[in-house]
Amino acid sequence: MTTLESLPAPSADTAAAIHDAVRERYAEAAVAAAAATSPEDAAAGSEALASCCGPDGCSDERSSPIFGAELYAATDRAALPNAAVLASLGCGNPTAVAELREGETVLDLGSGGGIDVLLSARRVGPTGRAIGLDMTDEMLALARRNAAEAGATNVEFVKGTIESMPLADASVDVVISNCVINLAADKGAVFREIARVLRPGGRMGVSDIVADDLLTSDQRAERGTYVGCIAGALSFREFRTGLRAAGLTDVEVVPTHAVADGMHAAIIRAMKPLTA
């Protein structure tokens, strides 16, 4: 089985093509969420919102949510602008996963419409700070509008890719993301950047899609598209190996629910050591 350490970084052309496809799809989703007043309106207005729910939709046969805003507590959703909730396309609730504390600086990778940034800002309080990083102009505009509507003053949204983060070394306490790492063109670069921006003793707590170790890349692609968060997913082994290769420790990858055959939403946690 190939590990992340031996996977080559994509060519510049391949990385650019992936970025363009992801940017286009999520720009469409942002526009639909901004214009909608209900989940039905949003789904009707955007193929992107529907496709982000994966091959089996946003709920399983028991009507249990597998993607989207229903994975957040009703009290959290009620406290946020409607557009932030409608633009939630993730596979978990990373603000709960990361156990945020007062005064911390938290970075949300691929922050989208801002739902996790706004929830993080409430958890870290006025002495803390929540930063959202996204490469899509339409999502950044939507997130800033949502932050203004929510009256959040301890938030910031910056443009950039998660493979090359425009943040200083050792500048954040916590890195979160919600179903975004699978969309990255170069996962190894993402893990190295997470390790770089975390302060010593800092931690990551993300939700993402993870494949069974025996599934090949072709088999993952058979189960869903890259922009639908399936084809680009790493395996359990690849996630663990990649995070450790980047210098992170206490790595754990815990599945939470199935999203396709052999594909799972999962909680991924890791720490940056206090000393090198």
Contact 151, 141 (CB under 8 A): no
Q: Which domain holds residue 224?
A: 9-271
Kindly state whether residue 153 falls inside one of the protein's structural domains.
yes
Kindly state whether residue 75 falls inside one of the protein's structural domains.
yes
Kindly state whether residue 3 falls inside one of the protein's structural domains.
no
**12-35 and 137-150 helices cross at what angle (nearest 10)?**
40
Kindly state whether residue 167 falls inside one of the protein's structural domains.
yes
Q: What is the pLDDT of residues 152-190, one digit of tens each?
A: 999 999 999 999 999 999 999 999 999 999 999 999 999
**Is pLDDT above 60 for 53?**
no
Kindly state whether residue 34 falls inside one of the protein's structural domains.
yes
CATH number for 71 = 3.40.50.150
**236-245 and 187-197 helices cross at what angle (nearest 10)?**
50
Beta strands of 14-138 (E only): which ranges? 105-109, 129-134
Kindly state whether residue 260 falls inside one of the protein's structural domains.
yes
Q: How many domains does the chain have?
A: 1
Kindly state whether residue 144 falls inside one of the protein's structural domains.
yes
Number of H helices, E strands in the chain: 11, 8
Give pLDDT, residue 76.
Answer: 66
pTM confidence score: 0.87
